[in-house]
């Protein structure tokens, strides 16, 4: 097993088995929404459907990036996620595909279009690798193997800083991201991996031509804490385990840019109410990973059960807000009763 494949298995096992890496901050619980006692709606007619990258989704759920690699378990996880995403009409992003660029056996774990012929699939590579061994041809290959609708370039300076084998040269990335945006046919989405973004980051990304941003704030799985479990010196990763911008705050900070970028909310979302609050804060799509990991190790049916539960929660929240469709709540901060940032 290559070093990258071993690291991916380490990550999956740690996130799956160690409760401490899920920070369980529940930042969204501090927000209270207007309740409509007389919603003047039939619940059965509430429509949670949306569109992303030109494709219709049953509701604005993205199964966020988890894994992929040259291991039967990793291949099974991605396959189960893809089958479930297609069946339930939600989007799916894969984990970092850098592994298949150096290990041909990892390719099968990313050949998912056969299992999800219609829904949104997103490829994924680490942006920092543009400063190492990654180029446009690799980005194109990552999209091609997945037949992806778009490419995630993820930013993870904290994770790389505490990772034993981390790549930490993040200098000059804006211009290199801009080149990928200009040359790749598919849209490029930039995301953090659980520490959020600043307004200065957004300005850099806009200058690079980015039109899609996943804020990926703190509150859920801490990759700093995950890496501390793999390190002989865990103190650094533990210290920074809650570093960053909470997801609700990260979304609200992006308000001045909502007309310029499509926002994806991820980082600590765990249910349909969190999704509704994210849409109210301007998100177009809501990403979750941890709730699907153990079900994906089991079967597509287990993943579908979780998706259906979250859809019912989200639709119920819309009903109780008096919203017949997504457009009725998107960006509607007047629906927030108690803003914890005040």
User: pLDDT (tens digit, 9 = 90+) per residue, 40-69?
Assistant: 999 999 999 999 999 999 999 999 999 999
**Is 80 exceeded by the pLDDT of residue 258?**
yes
Q: pTM, whole model, 2 decimals? A: 0.96
| Long-range contacts from 140-147, C-beta under 8 angstroms, 24+ separation | 140/184, 141/101, 142/97, 142/100, 142/101, 142/110, 143/184, 143/186, 145/97, 145/100, 145/107, 145/110, 145/111, 146/94, 146/97, 146/110, 146/111, 146/112, 146/113, 146/121, 146/122, 147/113, 147/121
C-alpha–C-alpha distance, residues 262 and 153, integer Å: 15
pLDDT category of residue 342 using cuts at 50, 70 and 90: low
Q: How many CB atoms lie within 10 A of CB 113?
A: 16
The domain spans of the chain are 3-338
**Is 80 exceeded by the pLDDT of residue 161?**
yes
Q: Which residues contact 203 (CB under 8 A, 6 or more apart)?
A: none
Which of 339, 154, 186 minimizes the C-alpha distance to 255? 339
pLDDT at 188: 98
Alpha-carbon separation of residue 181 from 136, 166, 188, 215, 305 (angstroms):
10, 25, 6, 18, 36
pLDDT category of residue 1 using cuts at 50, 70 and 90: low
User: pLDDT (tens digit, 9 = 90+) per residue, 203-255?
Assistant: 999 999 999 999 999 999 999 999 999 999 999 999 999 999 999 999 999 99
The residue to which tokens 């801009």 are assigned: 178
pLDDT at 300: 98
pLDDT category of residue 133 using cuts at 50, 70 and 90: confident
Give the rounded percent of residues in the chain with a pLDDT score beyond 90.
89
User: pLDDT (tens digit, 9 = 90+) per residue, 278-309?
Assistant: 999 999 999 999 999 999 999 999 999 999 99
Alpha-carbon separation of residue 233 from 17, 165, 230, 320 (angstroms):
20, 13, 9, 48
Quick one: fold of 3-338? TIM Barrel (3.20.20)
Q: Which residues contact 241 (CB under 8 A, 6 or more apart)?
A: 23, 222, 224, 225, 228
| Residue 181, φ and ψ in degrees, nearest 5 | -60, -40
């Amino acid at each position: 097993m290559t070093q990258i494949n071993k690291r991916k298995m380490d990550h999956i096992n740690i996130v799956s088995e160690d409760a401490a890496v899920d920070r369980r901050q529940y930042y969204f619980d501090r927000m209270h929404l207007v309740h409509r006692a007389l919603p003047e709606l039939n619940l059965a007619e509430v429509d949670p459907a949306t569109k992303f990258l030109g494709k219709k989704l049953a509701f604005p759920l993205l199964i966020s990036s988890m894994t992929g690699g040259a291991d039967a378990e990793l291949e099974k996880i991605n396959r189960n996620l893809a089958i479930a995403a297609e069946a339930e009409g939600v989007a799916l992003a894969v984990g970092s595909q850098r592994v298949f660029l150096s290990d041909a056996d990892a390719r099968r774990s990313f050949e998912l279009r056969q299992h999800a012929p219609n829904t949104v699939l997103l490829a994924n590579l680490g942006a920092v690798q543009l400063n190492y061994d990654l180029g446009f041809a690799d980005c194109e290959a990552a999209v091609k193997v997945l037949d992806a609708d778009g490419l995630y370039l993820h930013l993870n300076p904290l994770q790389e800083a505490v990772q034993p084998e981390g790549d930490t040269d993040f200098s000059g990335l804006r211009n290199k991201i801009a080149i990928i945006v200009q040359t790749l046919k598919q849209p490029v989405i930039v995301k953090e991996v659980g520490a959020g973004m600043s307004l200065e980051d957004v300005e850099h990304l806009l200058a690079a031509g980015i039109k899609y941003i996943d804020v990926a704030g703190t509150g859920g799985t801490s990759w700093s804490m995950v890496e501390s479990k793999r390190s002989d010196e865990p103190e650094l990763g533990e210290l920074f385990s809650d570093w960053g911008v909470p997801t609700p705050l990260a979304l609200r900070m992006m308000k001045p840019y909502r007309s310029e970028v499509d926002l994806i909310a991820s980082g600590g979302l765990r249910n349909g109410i969190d999704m509704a609050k994210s849409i109210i804060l301007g998100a177009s799509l809501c990403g979750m990973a941890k709730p699907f990991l153990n079900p994906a190790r089991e079967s597509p049916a287990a993943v579908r059960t979780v998706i259906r539960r979250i859809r019912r929660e989200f639709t119920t929240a819309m009903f109780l807000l008096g919203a017949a469709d997504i457009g009725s709540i998107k960006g509607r901060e007047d629906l927030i009763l108690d803003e914890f940032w005040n």
